[in-house]
Amino acid sequence: MIDLLSGLDAWVLISLFFALAFVLAFEFINGFHDTANAVATVIYTKAMPPHLAVFFSGVFNFLGVLLGGVGVAYAIVHLLPVELLVNVNTGHGLAMVFSLLAAAITWNLGTWYFGIPASSSHTLIGSILGVGLANALISGIPVSDGVNWQKAIDIGASLVFSPMAGFLVAGLVLVALKWWRPGSKMHKTPEQRRKLDDKKHPPFWNRLVLVISAMAVSFVHGSNDGQKGIGLIMLVLIGIVPSAFVLDLNSTTYQIERTRDATLHLNQFYQRNNASLTEFLALGKSIKGDLPDQFSCNPQQTEPTIDALLGSLKGVSDYHSIPAEKRIEIRRYLLCLDDTAKKVSKLPVLDSREKADLEKLRKDLTATTEYAPFWVILAVALALGLGTMVGWKRVVKTIGEKIGKQGMTYAQGMAAQITTAFAIGMANIFSLPVSTTHILSSGVAGTMVANKSGLQGGTIKTILMAWVLTLPATIALSATLFWLASKVLA
């Protein structure tokens, strides 16, 4: 790490320090902003004392980040159009990172202060979309090209449908529990348990399930939300110090050869499907040379890009041996080839088998660009874990008492938590960022409806308003900040 940063100008180092501090501050705030979603039920039901619940939630958030991989991280990064990702320079990177982080932190702190279970995922995604749209307006490119809309639609669908699924599934789980054990003590609220049984804690098995499911929610929250911080730090590093981080300098010879082989196979794939792809890729007709001057990606430049990449990787066994500027070029080639391959995979002319082959080639192509150093993962894990250990009180009461007209029963807490852990775990498998906040609060609401407890209209309205307003508010805020920062750093 120190070797990579040696020789940098003082102002670049200072900018890098503040940018990393901003990201870690976002993750710290994310930790205490979303903590209540994991610990609300175990604290409210007295399954665990607050200090223990928050401590272990922090530990499992930490472990979730360490073991969660980087799939969700780069799903977030690729919300930005490939043109914005290949055009890396220090001033541009600073404007982009500080704008989206300032917008996200401002909204997160505001909603936390008022005890509103708003989504950090929505907040971050809205901030990224705002930067992409503002960049389109500043650069004079079509707004439709300012954001990776296909990725935005995929992520938007996961953010919209996951709370609906949480509401429905948690309600069904509660109905199943009531059918299975209608007279069980798990259908009592903590207050009823204290009055009728003179017991402070839930029955043993209910308490065990509540604790385990709460830790499971903490773990999957870390593995999903923590990756967003990893993606942000990689944006910072690539944007501010591109020469050191555009490629994984620790890549082995085998990994580099795998990238080169994927490029060869990609060329063979296009030649094999020449008849159906000639027009889209201008096969045999493209102008030889480098990528366009604006660093944009053009599918009709695919063959020259493949030739340039193979030439750049010829005889390379260690990325350290490549000059810094050449590394930036290699990343541009890889990102553009991946972007074109993604577009080709959407074409109806390819059958499902060919599309599956293309998807495997894409993974091999990006093996040395979609990475994160261990110190980045560790830093995010610590920030999220420590943040989890503070600030939980404001939202716990909202989750436990203000969603339904009656208090939450033990069975409702178990149903909501099990559903949340499962839903986020599935999202991690498919590298989709989702909102822990919305899934859990929707799950609690679903159990309230299934239990015929009723819903508190005021709280539901506040949560829905935060849900509806988060995207437009953060898009507008980050776009404005990016425009101002671009003017200052121009």
- Going from N- to C-terminal start, the domains of the chain cover 8-244+374-489, 253-366
The pLDDT mean for the chain works out to: 83
Confidence (pLDDT) at 375? 92
Confidence (pLDDT) at 36? 64
**Which of 69-78, 89-98, 265-274, 449-458 is the least confident region?**
89-98
Crossing angle (nearest 10°) for helices 457-489 and 436-450: 170
3-state SS, one letter per residue, for 297-360: CCHHHHHHHHHHHHHHHCCCCCHHHCCHHHHHHHHHHHHHHHHHHHHHHCCCCCCHHHHHHHHH
State yes or no: pLDDT of 13 exceeds 90.
Answer: no
3-state SS, one letter per residue, for 159-215: HHHHHHHHHHHHHHHHHHHHHHCCCCHHHCCHHHHHHHHCCCCCCHHHHHHHHHHHH
Kind plus residue range of the DSSP H or E element containing 461: helix 457-489
How does pLDDT run across 345-374, given as a tens digit for each residue? 988 888 889 889 999 999 999 989 999 999
Closest CA to 239 of 99, 129, 86, 361: 86
**Which of 165-174, 184-193, 284-293 is the least confident region?**
284-293
State yes or no: pLDDT of 404 exceeds 60.
Answer: no
Q: Give the Å distances, CA to CA, from 174 to 142, 166, 350, 448.
A: 49, 12, 45, 9
How does pLDDT run across 205-227, given as a tens digit for each residue? 999 999 999 999 999 988 888 88
Residue type, 391: G
> Once rounded to an integer, what is the mean pLDDT over residues 20-28?
87
